[in-house]
Structure formats: structure tokens, C-alpha cells
């Protein structure tokens, strides 16, 4: 079985916050691994949108890095770091 990888975006309806991520599909849901902003996942409803599927995880990570880097200074971006 070949695993597929995807980039995703988590949004919080009505709040404006978002989070970019990458995940290897293993049949289990995954919503990100924030530390500083984890309380938002626990307190608010959120939606996850799969953006693109990849055969190679490295390619998915490259896209995730570009997405985060482009929005890094937006206060609504909840990513705490990018590029590993």
C-alpha cells in the first residue's frame, strides 16, 4: 500500500484564524499540532479543507512551507513555524 500525503487548511468559521498543515493519510483524522494556539482547537469549532494530494511527502511539505511563508506575518495565521 502506497501512502498519500496532502496539504490542508484549518479554518475557524467566523473567527478569521487559519492553520496550514501537511499530513500522511493513514486513515486517522489529523488537525494539526499547534502548541501556543492549541486552546483554539479545543474551544472553537473548526473546519479542515484538503488542498492538494501528493505522492511524495517532501513535495507536500514544500507546498506547506510556501503557504506559511506567504502568510507568516498575518496575525490570523496560527502557524508557529515553517520549514521543519
The per-residue DSSP string of the chain comes to: ----EEEEEEE-TTT--EEEEEEE-SSS------STTHHHHHHS--EEEEEEEESSHHHHHHHHHHHHHHHTT-TTB-------
The yes-or-no verdict on residue 2 having pLDDT over 90 is no
CA gap 40, 44 in Å, rounded: 6
Q: Residue 65: its pLDDT value, please? A: 94
Task: Give pLDDT tens digits for 20-65.
Answer: 999 998 888 777 777 778 888 889 999 999 999 999 999 999 999 9
- Residue with the bigger pLDDT between 36 and 1: it is 36
Q: What is the pTM of this model?
A: 0.88
Amino acid at each position: 500500500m502506497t501512502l498519500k500525503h496532502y496539504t490542508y487548511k484549518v479554518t475557524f468559521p467566523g473567527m478569521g484564524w487559519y492553520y496550514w498543515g501537511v499530513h500522511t493519510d493513514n486513515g486517522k483524522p489529523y488537525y494539526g499540532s499547534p502548541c501556543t494556539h492549541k486552546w483554539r482547537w479545543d474551544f472553537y469549532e473548526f473546519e479542515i479543507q484538503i488542498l492538494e494530494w501528493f505522492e511524495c511527502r517532501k513535495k507536500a511539505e514544500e507546498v506547506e512551507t510556501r503557504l506559511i511563508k506567504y502568510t507568516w506575518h498575518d496575525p490570523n495565521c496560527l502557524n508557529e513555524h515553517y520549514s521543519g
